[in-house]
Amino acid sequence: MTNDRSIPPLGLGTYGRRGSDGISAMIEAIETGYRHLDTVQTYDTESAVGEAMRRSGLARTDFLFTTKVADFNLGKAKFMSSVRKSLKAIGLDHVDLR
pLDDT in tens, 17-62: 999 999 999 999 999 999 999 999 999 999 999 999 999 999 999 9
* Full-model pTM: 0.86
> Could you say which of 34, 43, 63, 65 is catalytic?
43
Query: Is residue 43 flagged as an active site residue?
Result: yes
User: Using an 8 Å Cβ cutoff, are 12 and 43 in contact?
Assistant: no
What is the pLDDT confidence band of residue 82, given thresholds at 50, 70 and 90? Answer: very high
Q: Nearest 5 degrees, angle CA 68-CA 20-CA 40?
A: 5
What is the largest distance, in Å, between two alpha-carbon atoms of the chain? 40
pLDDT at residue 1 in the model: 40
